[in-house]
Amino acid sequence: MLPLDRWAAGAVERDVAVGEAVLAVEVSADGEDIAMVVAGRTTRGIHVQLVDEMAGFTVADVVGKIVRLRDQLRGDGFGLAAVVLDRDWHGNVLAPELMLVNIEPVLATGANVASAYAVTRQAVRDGTLTHDVSGSWGQELQLATLRDEGKKFECIDRYSGRVPALVAMTLAVWGLGRYAAESELGARKAVEEAPVNPRGTLPRFKTKQDWKGGVSRAS
């Protein structure tokens, strides 16, 4: 799994300045819980934050939260660059409803899910990934095991326990890398909105806000 000593060293309680954000949404194996994690670029590398968890949910509930987060980020002076879902997992039921609110989700394949775990693990090892201090991280790290360990498509085993936040984190990190690469090629955002981020201004992940540490613009 993730190296626990390096993970612990990446905990950050203060506000963290970030660039545009990518959101990943993951549903637990039993379909009962959902986690929403945001990743953004920092001067150090990547910062991830667990912005919401729900025990028991409806598609309308989750889509509504995503729309409110999109609008909050837009109001704070930057944007939600993409929303990532696993194409072959429970969360894919959100895709049609997101399209209706002008959000075209990025649908990760099985190979992408494995790549997401690999790039996240490497970032933790390198000390370039920081995270908020939500208690859910530690709880899920205690439960999580690997599927296909040591093989090409090694990834977090979703059936090892309730680990939606960890899986969502890896997808958000992967999605952020994909967005950065596509931005260099001039690809459009999956979440359409007018560019409103003033030049030189970085928003911040807050430690306490309505979204359990949502995002607001740097002062």
pLDDT of the residue at 188: 53
pLDDT of the residue at 107: 94
Q: Is 30 exposed, middle or buried (0-12, 13-18, 19+ CB in 10 A)?
A: exposed
pLDDT of the residue at 197: 37
DSSP bridge partners of 216:
204
pLDDT of the residue at 112: 94
DSSP bridge partners of 146:
156
- Tokens 């999956």 correspond to what residue? 190
**In terms of residues, how long is the chain?**
219
Domain ranges of the chain: 4-190
List, for residues 103-149, the tens digit of each pLDDT value: 999 999 999 999 999 999 999 999 999 999 999 999 999 999 998 87
* 2 neighbors 141 (Cβ within 8 angstroms): yes
Which of these CATH numbers, 3.30.420.40, 3.40.640.10, 3.40.50.2300, 3.30.420.240, describes 4-190? 3.30.420.240
DSSP string for residues in 72-137: HHHHTTS-EEEEEEETTSGGGGGHHHHHHTTB--EEE-HHHHHHHHHHHHHHHHHT-EEE---HHH
pLDDT of the residue at 189: 53
Which residue stretches of the chain have pLDDT < 70?
75-78, 183-219
CA 208 to CA 120: how far, in whole Å?
Answer: 25
pLDDT of the residue at 206: 43
Strands 21-27 and 80-86: parallel
Express the helix, strand and coil content of the chain in percent, nearest 5 each. 40, 25, 35
